[in-house]
Amino acid sequence: MPFAIIALLVLQKTLKLPVVKREVKVDWAGAFFISAAVSLLLIWVTFAGDKYDWMSWQTAVMVLGAVALGAVFVLVESKASEPIIPLRLFRNRTITLASLASLFVGVAMFAGTVFFSQYFQLARNESPTMSGVLTIPMIAGLFVSSTVSGLIITKTGRWKAWLVSGGALAAGGLGLLGTIRYDTEYWHIALFMAVLGLGLGMMMQNLVLCTQNQVAPADLGAASSVVTFFRSLGGAIGVSALGAVMAHRVTDYVKEGLAELGPKAAAAMGKGGSGGGIPDMDKLPAPIRTVMEDAYGHGVADVFLYSAPFALLASW
């Protein structure tokens, strides 16, 4: 919060923009249809694999419904006088590719921020506060690479190499994180997080930068919003889908671990469980607790491993 307040004060004092007053038409229809399409897609991803199977009539209805709403949105935008997303932007190959890359980067970025907290709390028994502190290597890598790459791009005007390198680093970092377990040395995890952070830092803001360089000043806001929107969309869908994957993987690993301990393990598990939800680790006997920590550690690692291809696609 202090940094946010300082940033707000600096912007208020130093940022001077011309004020232009004119008649505008808010694209209410476009906003409604894109919100409806994305919401339906997110509802599908959230409940698929839990409330119903991935391959089911509910999936067919929701996916086809989202596609239909998306098609209506495109039709509305093609006729709107001031569209919320000007379709002409996508005639530019760089903007189209940057939007797709942002979609994949969102999966990698949000997967890191969301599932690290679960890993440290459930697999390593850290507090929520310490879980945040332990992710500092990733934040530090992101800060350093975004700052350095931004300065160099400002001087040279070249950004493509940074984007490609960032995607490769992010994919490498996620791949390395896919090897972690509940008892992995923290300095290994810190190193892997730093690699991921370096990759994300090279891509996140520079994707916005390369998009802004392709449009006229009047379209800067729309172009920047498009890239940011796709990044958020990728993150939301990625977290929902990967969360479902992690839940299934953790369940499988728990079953395997309990089977190795013997028939008494299930009864002991019931005493410390929470009705099928996340167990209270402190109430579990030591052997059962180790099984649970191992299951969550391995399950989160699988999520990172499944995220790596998305970062690699972003670099392509």
Name the CA dihedral angle for 47, 99, 138, 315, rounded to a multiple of 10 degrees: 110
Determine the Cα angle at 293 with ends 290 and 297, to 5°.
Answer: 135
Query: pLDDT (tens digit, 9 = 90+) per residue, 154-163?
Result: 888 888 888 8
Q: Which residue has the higher pLDDT, 240 or 200?
A: 200
For 122, the enclosing helix (H) or strand (E) is: none
Spatial neighbors of 267 by CB under 8 A, at least 6 apart, are none
Q: What is the mean pLDDT of residues 2-20?
A: 89
* Residues 201-217, mean pLDDT to the nearest whole number: 85
The span from the first CA to the last CA of the chain, in angstroms, equals 36
Determine the average pLDDT of the residues in 194-204. Answer: 90
The predicted model gives 69-94 an average pLDDT of 89
For 177, counting Cβ atoms within 10 Å of its Cβ (0-12 exposed, 13-18 middle, 19+ buried), the class is buried
Handedness of CA 155, 157, 160, 163 (dihedral sign): positive
Mean pLDDT of all residues belonging to the chain: 86
SS3 266: helix
117-135 residue pLDDT tens: 889 998 998 888 999 899 9
Q: Tokens 């596609």, residue?
A: 67
How far apart CA 265 and CA 267 sit, in angstroms, is 5
Average pLDDT score over residue span 200-223: 85
Residue 165 CA to residue 188 CA, distance in Å, equals: 22
On the question of pLDDT at 205 being above 70, the answer is: yes
Q: Kindly report, residue by residue over 250-307, the tens digit of the pLDDT.
A: 988 988 888 877 666 555 555 544 445 666 677 777 788 888 899 999 999 999 998 8
The model's pTM is 0.81
Question: Alpha carbon of 155 to those of 52, 159, 164, 171, 304: distances in Å?
Answer: 53, 11, 19, 27, 35
